Structure 1
C-alpha cells in the first residue's frame, strides 16, 4: 500500500524470488554442512596420516570457496534486491524488526569469509593444531549464520507471540524455530556429501577414489536418520490450520508433495550407485545428476514452506499482497484506493471504473498471479466465470480457498476489479441482460423442436424437478450434493380428452455435447466412495444415469423420470453455462 508496484505480468515476482532464492539457499546449506565436512575430513587425513586425503581436501576447498563465497555471496545480495522490489512492505518489517539479528549475521558471515580464506591460502603453511582450529572456526561461523537466518525465515511462517508483543525474541524463537534448525542442519550435512562427490569423481587413483566416494556417501545418507524425525517435528510444529490449508486445500502443492519423496528416494539411490559403481563414467554421471536432483529437492521443500504460510507473507500479520491484517476493516470501509499512496486513482467512478480495476488488480492480485504468464496465470482461472461469477468469487475468495487473501475494499472497488478482469483481461462483455445464460462468452441458443398445434398428434412436456445441485467443486474436503439433475416428462396424445401415454413408448434424453464429460470437470467421482460408500462410475449419477439414456416410468406419479443425470455448468470449450 505504501510502495509502488513492480508490474511483472509474465514471469511474476514470486517466480523471480524462487529462481534466485532456491539456488542461494541450496549453496548456503552447502556452506554450513561443508564447513563440518572440511573440518572432519581434515581430522581424518591427520589421523590416517594420509597425504592423499589432504591433497583431495585442498582441491575441494578451492571448489567450495568459489561456490559458497562467490556465488553464494552474490546470490545472497540478489535475494535482497529482488524481495525489496517484489514485496518491499514485508522486507521493511524484516529489516526493522530484526535489524540487530541481521547485524549479528553479518558478523558471522565476515567470520566465515576470513576463516575460509585463511584456511585455503595458508593450508600448507599452518601446523595441524592451527589449521584444525581455523577449519573449526569456519564451521562454527557458518552454522551460527544458519542459527540467525533460521529464526527470521521461520518467523514468516509462524510469527507466534510476536503478533501481540512485537518483541524481537518472540519473533525469533518462534514455534517452528527449533525443528527447522535441526532439519536444516541435517540437510546441510547431506549436501556436504552430495557436493563432495563432484570433486571426488575427478580423482585419478581408482582405489582412493572409491574410498572417498564411500566416505561422501556416509555424509549423504547418514543425516537421513535425523532428517526424517526432524521433518516430522517441523511438520507438526506448523499450526493445524496452516497445515489444513496447505496440504488439504491447495492443489498447487500436490506436485511438490510428490516431488519431495521422489527426489529423496533418487538421492538415496544415486548415493548407493556411487558407492558400488566401478566405472568412472557412471560415477561422474551419477555425481553430476545429484546436483540438479538436490536443487529440485531444495526447491520442493522451500516451495512447500512458502505455500504453508498462505494466504500470508508474514503469518497472521500481513497478507501475501502486502495488506496488513490489522488494516482490513479500515480498507473495507474506506477503500484500498484511498490509502494506496502510489495509485493514480483514489475513488471508483463510472468514468474510471476499468482504470480503477487495473489499480486494484495490481494491488491485490499481481503479487501472486501472472497475466498469460508461466505460473498462476489469472486468465484460465478467471476464464471459467462471467462478470457476476467473478463477483461471487471475490466475495467468497478466502472462505473456501483459504490459501488466498480475502478481497479487501469497498463493494464499488470489488465491482471495478471484476469488470477489469472481465473486460480488459478476458475481453468479454461485462453487462449481462437479466435472465441470460451466465456464460463466459456467446453461447448458441437452445433449439426448441418445432410444434404445429394444428397437425401434431402428440405433445411432450418435460421439466426439471431438481436442477443443477449444490456442487462444491471441492469434493476431497466436503460435498453438498452429488452432481445430478432430475428430468421428468409426460407424453400426451392430443384430443378433446388428452390421453397420457405410458405403454409402448420409450422416452430418451441426451445432454448437449459441450456438457457430455462431467467427470472431466469435477472430482466428485474420484472421491465418491469416501462420500457415499461406493465407487460410482465416472460420468454416472447416483442412480446410474449418464449423460445419455432413457427415462424410467413412475407408475405412482404417472410420469417418466430420469433421476440424477450428472449435468454440470462447465463446458468442454472452457465456458461457463449456468443453463445447459
Structure 2
C-alpha cells in the first residue's frame, strides 16, 4: 500500500526534524550556561552537537529527500497544488533550512576554535533558523486540513494562517523541546563524568521538557478548530483513529508524568536505559500523532479541494457521467492475467480509485474488507461509498465501473480462476445507477 511508504518515511523524518529543532534550542541554552561558568556544560555542548549533526542532518536529509520522492510518486497532484499556492513560502522555508545547515556545519567544523560571542551567535542562528523552518512548513501542512478563508478566495496568507496553524505550531514546538531534552539525557549518560555531575546536567536538560505540561491545552485547541467530521473520527467515529489518539495521548502522558514529576519536581536521576525507553515512547507518540494528523483529513488530501483519489469534487461529478477509466491511457501491467474484459476494466477501476490507500491482497486489502459481503451488498456499499464509510470519497465512476470493480474483487476472492462469468445485466446496472443517483457526489462532511 503506497500510503504506508509515505507514512513510514514521514514519521521518521518528522521525529528527526523535531529533534533537530529542540536540540538546537537546548544547545543555545547550554552554551549560555557554559559561558556563565556552569561546570561540564561546554563538554556537553560539543558532544551533543556531534549527535545532532550526524543523526539529524544526515538521516534527516535522506528522509527529507525520500519524502519528496515518495509523495511525488503517490500524491503528485497534492504536492502540485501545495507548490502552486505556496511556492514563495516553500522558497522561504528552503532559505531558512539552508541557513540552518550552514550554521550547523560551521559550528560543527569551527566551534572549538571560536570565541564565546561567536559560538553563542552561531548557535542562536542555528536554533532560530530551524524553528523558522518549522514555522513555514507547519502553515502549509495545517492548510491541508483547515484551509479556512482560503476556500473563500482569501489568498495565500488566509490559507497559511489557517485555524489550526497556531495550535499545531505550539504543539510541535513543545514536542521538539521535549525530544531535545530526552536525547540530552541519553547523551549525558554516555559522558565520562561522575554521577553527581551527570545528575546536575540532567536536571538542567529536563527543564527544557517543561512545555509538555501545555501539550493537552494545544491538543484540545487543535481538536476544537478542525472540521466537525474529522473530530468525530478521532473521538470514536473510527476506532483505528481513536486508538491512535489514545496511543499518542497515553505515551505523552507517561513521558510527561516522568519528566515533570520525576525529573523536574522530584529531581530524580535518570539512567541511559530509562531515557532511551522514554525516547522510544516519544517516537511511538510521534508515529501515532502523525497517523492521526493524516487520517483526520479524509476523505481529502486538501480539504474541500482534492480527494484522497487525487480528484476534485467537480471531476468526480464528471466521471459519474463519463466513467472512471474511459480516458485512462495506461495498460495494465499484467493484463493477460484477467480472463475477461470486465475484469480488466475492474482492475483499472481499482488502480484509479482504490490503489492509493488499499491493496487487493495485503495491507488494508479490499478482498478481506469485502469478503463477507453479498454481491448486492457490495454493489450498494461501493455505490454509496461516502455513506458506507464517511471518511471515504464519493465513488468517481458509473454503474458499469461499480459492477466491474465488484466482479474484479469477487474474482480475486475466489482465487483468480481461469474463467469467470460476465455480469452486466440491464437490471443490475439500472439498480446500481439508481443507488449512485440517490447518494449523489457530495461527501458526508462539510468542505470546512
Taking structure 1 as the reference length, the TM-score comes to 0.68
The partner residue of 1:54 within 31, 37, 42 is 42
Aligned to 1:388: 376
Name the structure 2 match of 1:170: 158
Indicate conservation of the 8 Å contact 1:274/1:287, yes or no: no
The C-alpha deviation readout for 1:96-120, integer Å capped at 9, x for no partner, is 2222122111110110011112222
Q: Following the alignment from structure 1 to structure 2, what is the Cα–Cα distance between the partners of residues 16 and 80?
A: 12
- Equivalents in 2 of 1:396, 1:338: separation in Å? 21
Contact 2:10 2:63 survives alignment (8 Å)? yes
From 14, 21, 38, give the equivalent of 2:10: 21
- The equivalent residue for 1:200 is 188
* 1:352 to 2:346 alignment: no
Deviations along 1:528-560, one digit per CA (max 9) or x if unpaired, are xxxxxxxxxxxxxxxxxxxxxxxxxxxxxxxxx
Q: How does 1:158-307 map to 2 (within 5 A)?
A: 158-165=146-153, 167-203=155-191, 204-220=193-209, 222-271=210-259, 283-307=271-295
- Partners of 2:296 and 2:74 in 1: how far apart? 20
Number of residue pairs matched by the alignment: 413
> Between Structure 1 and Structure 2, whose CA radius of gyration is higher?
1
Report the alpha carbon displacement of residue 369 of structure 1 after superposing the two structures with TM.
Answer: 1.1
The answer to whether 1:316 aligns with 2:304 is: yes
The 5 A counterparts of 1:102-181 are 102-165=90-153, 167-181=155-169
Distance 1:407 1:343, change over 3 A: farther
Which protein is richer in helix relative to its size? 2
Q: Which of 80, 85, 107 is 2:68 aligned to?
A: 80
Moved over 6 A (4+): 274-279, 428-432
Question: Whole-Å Cα distance in 2 between the matches of residues 398 and 261 of structure 1?
Answer: 29
Tell me by how many angstroms 1:379 deviates: 2.2
Shift of 1:423: 1.3
TM-superposition CA deviations, 1:221-268 (whole Å, max 9, x none):
x11232221111111110213212443322221321221222113213
Q: Distance in 2 between matches of 1:431 and 1:412?
A: 12
Which whole-Å deviations, capped at 9, do the CAs of 1:188-226 have from their partners, x for residues lacking one?
111111111121111232111011122222222x11232
Q: Which residue of 2 aligns with 1:326?
A: 314
Structure (1 or 2) with the greater strand fraction: 1
RMSD: 2.4
> What do the CA deviations read for 1:43-93 (whole angstroms, capped 9, x no partner)?
11222x135110111000110111121111111011001111112221221
For structure 2, the 5+ residue unaligned runs are 334-338, 426-448
Contact 2:367 2:412 in 1 (8 A): no
Shift of 1:161: 2.7
Q: 1:186 to 1:165 in 2, by over 3 A?
A: same
CA deviation map 1:388-416 (0-9, x unaligned): 22101112220241111111111111111
Structure 1, unpaired ranges of 5+: 1-11, 435-580
Q: Secondary structure at the match of 1:124?
A: helix
Superposed displacement of residue 170, structure 1: 2.4
Whether contact under 8 Å (1:386, 1:422) holds in the other structure is no
Alpha-carbon contact 2:146-2:226 (below 8 Å) kept: yes
Cross-structure match for 2:392? 404
Q: In structure 1, the residue corresponding to 2:148 is in which secondary structure?
A: coil
* TM-score, normalising length: structure 2: 0.87
Distance in structure 1 (CA, Å) of the matches to 2:151 and 2:322: 25
